Amino acid sequence: MVVRQNHQPPLPTVTKSTILTIGFTLLLKDKQIFKGEPLCPKMRTPVPGPMSKRLKEDLGKIQECGAVEFFADYDRSRGNFIFDVDNNLMLDFHNQLGTNPLGYNHPAFTEVLRNPEFQSSFVNRPSLGLFPPRDHVRRLKTTLMSVAPQGLTNVHTFSGGTTAVEFGLKAMFMLYQINKRGSPYPTQEEMASCLRGHKPGTPDLSILSFNNAFHGRTMGALALTHNRWEFKVDLPQPNWPVADFPQMQYPLNEHEIDNIKEEVRCLEMVKNLFETYKKNGSPVAGIVCEPIQSEGGDNYASPIFFQGLQDIAKENGACLMMDEVQTGCGVTGRFWAHEHLYLREPPDVVAFGKKMVIAGIYLRPELRPQQPARIFNTWLGDPAKLALCSAVLEVIEKEKLVNNAHACGVYLLTELENVQKQNPTVLSRVRGLGLLASVDFPTTKIRNMVVERLRELGVNAGISGKYSMRVRPTLTIGRQHVDIFIDTLRHVIKDLRFRRAFDD
């Protein structure tokens, strides 16, 4: 690990975390994204520390909280660094499941809170489907519509990505039925029968999704989610078609033929499922797909695969919905990840959320309902979140953060590939696009140990799928943050405890 110790006088006996801190301080002197961002991690206790453990025990008395990893001190966190309640300072490459766009306590966010123009949005939460504020149209046009995917001229906002996916499903189902009956207006029989869940008002339709996909945990979105049993067991689900998503071999340039065969196999499976479900009386109304399967292992496919999906959907009168909740907002080096796929025409639906601060769906005009309240809930999002989204988009444009995501992403991937070349028995399948990056380890145990050890040394990373470690930096990441992560990862791999675990 490069910690520049040779530039220091002899050191007394210190912890490895202290050595890392000294090295990073030298490496990053005077490099800050914005005022107040720390230079390097500083660890005081194991993670979780005693205070986090006490708070988790207290929380456990009133709710199930087994997934809690540590309690954070958000007042002190800055930029790409997060403090926990035990005074540990970590470089955060987990970033709240990849939702943090600009870093902790970014000045643009605090300015929104101080701006009198937005105070009413935080004090009065309107039911946007009934009583939107007078500046709502202007704000939608200057924020969400300013970054709308090409050809998608309608937008609806919601509170979370799962809700966005749910309403995207409804829009696709409704369009399928409109095309089938030849009219946007349901018959009297359809209106009466749907209230009891009977045909013809409640049609037997299906949505095609993919193995290892994640689209949310409400019932419709959960029917499309296939990555962890904890999300699905004991819950009834519709019998909708599930196809294989390509499992690419890496490096890509060494496995071109095998990867093409894999994508062809998956596309043939999609075609067969369309035919089977049509014959069985439950035709497929739409395909829902992530441009990059994020929760299921950071799985990628080529543009040819996605173009093939769109062709199959069009041939069968179905829609294509791209779930960009995790991949949107510039993180891949383009504002929308599906821009990398060069689809022949825009997707029919694009869901967004997470780094956008507010969630929602973009629709082609054909999917716009003809009756009121068909895409509706109490809040339809939150003007306060729309104000924060406006700040995110302004900073992205002003600081050219999409370009930064591309440049730092190339650097991150190159450095990860170098670590892999030096440790081929430990790391494999380095992959990424922009700031979405992952690497595999031989076993789940080793992967988990690496993530735990990284955290002990001041880098908070995440997991994905069975063997993958993933990183999700903010858009304000710099090369210096990548250096901290890479140096710490090298240190972990060389660590004796890790080597013993690997040998076992």
Active site residues: 214, 323, 354, 378
CB neighbour list of residue 229: distance below 8 Å, 6 or more residues apart: none
Helix axes 479-494 and 401-422, enclosed angle (nearest 10): 20
Residue 107: enclosing H or E segment and its boundaries? Answer: helix 107-114
Which tokens hold the place of 303?
Answer: 């543009």
Q: Look at residue 333 and give its three-state secondary structure.
A: coil
Greatest Cα pair distance in the chain: 86
For residue 267 the two structure tokens come to 């596309």
The whole-angstrom separation of Cα 441 and Cα 424 is 10
- Spell out where 297-348 has E strands: 319-323
Q: What are phi and psi of 155, to 5 degrees?
A: -140, 140
246 to 259, 270, 300: CA distances (angstroms): 8, 12, 7
3-state secondary structure 32-84: CCCCCCCCCCECCCCCCCHHHHHHHHHHHCCCCCCCCCCCEEEEEEEECEEEE
The dihedral region occupied by 156, where left means phi > 0, alpha psi between -120 and 50, and beta the remainder, is: beta
DSSP string, 177-233: HHHHHTSSS--HHHHHHHTTT-TTTS---EEEEETT----SSHHHHTT--S-GGGTT
Nearest to 454 by CA among 410, 419, 408: 419
Side by side, which strands form the sheet with 436-440?
A: 428-433, 436-440, 468-471, 462-464
Q: How far apart are CA 479 and CA 483, in angstroms?
A: 6
